[in-house]
Amino acid sequence: MTKMIRYRAALPLALTLVLAGCGQQAAKPAEKVEAKEAEGEIRLTAQQIKAAGVLIIRATAGGAGVLSLPATIESDPQATQVVSAAIGGRIVALNRNPGEAVRRGEVVAVIESREAAGLRAEVEAAQARAALARSSLSREERLFALKVSPERDLIAARTAMTEANIALRLAQQQLSAAGVGGGSLNRIGVVAPIGGQVTARSVVLGQTVAPDAELFRVANLGRVAINLSLTPADAGRVRVRMPVEIRSGDRTAMARVHFVSPVLDQATRLVPVVALLDNGGALWRPGEPVTAMLQAASTTDGVSIPDSAIQTIEGRTSVFVRTKDGFRAVPVTVISRGNGVAAVTGLSGREQLAGDGSFTLKAELAKGEAEHGGH
């Protein structure tokens, strides 16, 4: 239960000088700020409130619906791929530079490697064995038809043919997994897995790379992603397909919420949210900082107030509510904040509050409590 106290707090020197400038007698004892009997109350006249520069505002029924968040344009993860080779070797050709377009299946780099030579040699050897097996099978089929060769020889030839084809397919698949393309026996081409634009190149000519090392990064920038981090309370008001306005300077665009994580990020303790933005005109570039305005669902159990009205008093989030004799500090709970507006509970929505200048009231309240503690 709130302890009842009585104390008197002097107006700050700045406020006294303002009143003196208005023709008031600075030495008047009546011009002192008084504390009422209830804790957290400050007695002020209307003239004193005006002189202190405290702006009176009203709370608005209904929680804040707009969230303004800093964000960064990023490549769509589903439309971005790393280009690498399954084998290591020396880079002897680079066919694309960052910023250039590439089609799916185009050779973007050539690697010279002994392992590449071994893979190509295995394919050629398998092709030769398969050709020999086909020839042997044809001969055995003719001899069997002439009743010269027994059936078991025909069956053995068919088995050899099947095994040769399997070995050939295996060799070709191993070569395909490492890369494809023309070139000499010891070279292999690395192809782009998707069409798009080269956004990064990690190697230079003549460099020796290890297997699976990143060579290029290719992205289809026809659609970009915006990653947001929301508090659990704000995330509960966000739904998939909800619109998100993206702003940067005089440019604006509309994105849509694509994903709201069901779990919190362990590092930030915030909820990851991803919005997708069509970027057909290539107006937005990955890495660009933007402001995301998210029209979240308004709360029905809170009121909207300016951020300037919120102060922390004795560890509690509070606002100063106008009373007949001055102000009273009232604890509130912040539901969400964004774009200079906060949604809070603990108010009816009919109150008048101290907005700009409320920090002056906080200072006076702290000063009065300090003086009271010294009695």
Q: Which amino acid is at 69?
A: L
Distance set, CA 14 to CA 20, 26, 48, 356, 364 (Å)? 10, 11, 12, 17, 12
- Give strand pairing partners of 303: 61, 344
DSSP notation for 296-313 = PPPPSS-EEEEGGG-EEE
d(CA 98, CA 285): 14
Distance set, CA 198 to CA 83, 108, 151, 204 (Å)? 10, 10, 59, 15
pLDDT at residue 283, rounded to an integer: 85
Question: If you average pLDDT over residues 287-299, what whole number do you get?
Answer: 76
Query: Could you tell me what percent of the chain has a pLDDT over 90?
Result: 28
Tokens of 347: 């108010």
Angle at 334 between CA 358 and CA 262, to 5 degrees: 155
At 129, the pLDDT band (50, 70, 90 cuts) reads very high
Q: Domain 66-76+220-295 carries which CATH code?
A: 2.40.30.170
d(CA 234, CA 246): 18
Question: If you average pLDDT over residues 358-366, what whole number do you get?
Answer: 85
Tokens of 362: 């906080």
pLDDT at residue 65, rounded to an integer: 58
Q: How many other CB atoms are found less than 10 A from the CB of residue 224?
A: 26
At 82, the pLDDT band (50, 70, 90 cuts) reads very high
Find, among 262, 279, 280, the residue nearest to 271 by Cα: 262
d(CA 326, CA 240): 46
Pick from 65-74, 186-195, 296-305, 330-339: least confident: 296-305
For residue range 221-279, list pLDDT tens digits in order. 888 999 888 888 778 878 898 888 898 888 889 999 999 999 999 898 999 999 999 98
For the cut 90, the answer to whether the pLDDT of residue 170 exceeds it is: yes
For residue range 176-223, list pLDDT tens digits in order. 777 655 556 788 888 898 998 898 999 999 999 998 899 999 988 888
Residue with token string 């230079």? 204
Q: How many other CB atoms are found less than 10 A from the CB of residue 38?
A: 14
For residue range 16-50, list pLDDT tens digits in order. 434 344 444 433 443 444 444 456 788 888 888 88
Domains of the chain, by residue range, sit at 8-65+301-373, 66-76+220-295, 81-218
pLDDT at residue 282, rounded to an integer: 78
Pick from 107-116, 184-193, 330-339: least confident: 330-339
d(CA 109, CA 213): 13
d(CA 132, CA 157): 10
Pick from 105-119, 151-165, 187-201, 330-344: least confident: 330-344
Eight-state DSSP code of residue 349: S
Eight-state DSSP code of residue 29: G
d(CA 302, CA 293): 20
d(CA 272, CA 350): 36
* pTM as predicted: 0.50
For the cut 70, the answer to whether the pLDDT of residue 338 exceeds it is: no
Domain spanning 8-65+301-373: CATH 2.40.420.20: yes
Q: Do residues 304 and 319 lie in contact, with contact meaning Cβ atoms separated by under 8 Å? A: no
Phi then psi dihedrals of residue 31, to 5 deg: -85, 10
Architecture per CATH, domain 81-218, reads as Beta Barrel (2.40)
Phi then psi dihedrals of residue 261, to 5 deg: -65, 135
For the cut 70, the answer to whether the pLDDT of residue 8 exceeds it is: no
For the cut 80, the answer to whether the pLDDT of residue 335 exceeds it is: no
- Give strand pairing partners of 330: 319
Mean pLDDT rounded to a whole number for the chain: 81
For the cut 90, the answer to whether the pLDDT of residue 163 exceeds it is: yes
